[in-house]
Structure 1
Amino acid sequence: MFFPLYFTGKLEDTLLTQLAYFRWELQKTVAGYNWTDAVEGGLVGIYYDYIRFYKKNPHISPEAKERLTEFIKTTKSDKDRFAADYCTWISYEYEGKLRLNNYVRDIFYRYCPFPEDIRLKMAQKPAFSPFENRYKNRRKKDILKLQSKINKFHKKNTSVPIELKDYMEFLEK
């Protein structure tokens, strides 16, 4: 990221946009050639799928579809659309101000979650409580899968790789 010596824009907004671009490119690189796949592509794949097939999505209201059509007309690329939604997620949804539609909110809640204390505050609001429940259920499922892998190492009397231990610590936080 490069910034001019004399910067006249809003630094916070510019940094947030650059971080969104970085996250988009990083996720694309990690997903590889499957980046457009909703299952294998992770955050970028699901967002790409959302933009491509929003008209057929029954979880998006007709008003939101109209706003999204206008949004798509005014932005150049999927990366720019993602950056705009990501900035909205970080700037407004973080404070509990609802600006995104439920489908995008679910995507970001799943792939870009806030710290636990913020999530617990958000979960007290009816708009966020189902997302928190799904997030906790996914986390429990991931812990169970990882625990079964770790148990296989214990049964073979081999040492558990440090990466698995670290990932388990991360999931349990």
Structure 2
Amino acid sequence: MPSMRLRRQILPLFLMVLSPVILVTKAVADTLPVSECASEHSQRVERALAVKPPPIVRAIVIKGEPVFDPSRETLGDEILAGLNRLHWQTRESVIRPQLLFEVGSTLSPAALAESARLLRSRPYLMEASIKVRNPCESEVDVEVITHDAWSLTPRLALNRSGGNSKTG
């Protein structure tokens, strides 16, 4: 391996020999016409590489669906309406703090997916989904749809041990 002193002596000589070649090559390249196809291609590449900033959450709308949906249930509409009146709908003030995004924040697909997963894990919700409205714009509306679980579930327990039966 050449010593540092020898490298310092060779490098300027090497650059002196190559610099006219580099300058001539660059000058020739600058005078060559650029085809329209190449120019159009470079413009397409520049547009593809231009990254749009993530959209901002403009509004969050929380919709609570009734426990019993007449379109999905087979009981009469009056019975379902009565049962829905017995159930207290989960309030927006309970749902909103569980969302991992807020109005004015940048929209993150990971935050949307995790928020939906967190809501579905709650025992008082049967279903939860999150939809983005106006996804092509710089500001979007987020719709959170929840479907409450019926909170008054009757339980029947039977137990028999030692000849004694218990119900409850």
TM-score (normalizing by structure 1): 0.19
Higher helix share: 1
Higher strand share: 2
Flag the structure with more relative contact order, 1 or 2, with Cα contacts below 8 A and sequence separation at least 6: 2
TM-score (normalizing by structure 2): 0.19
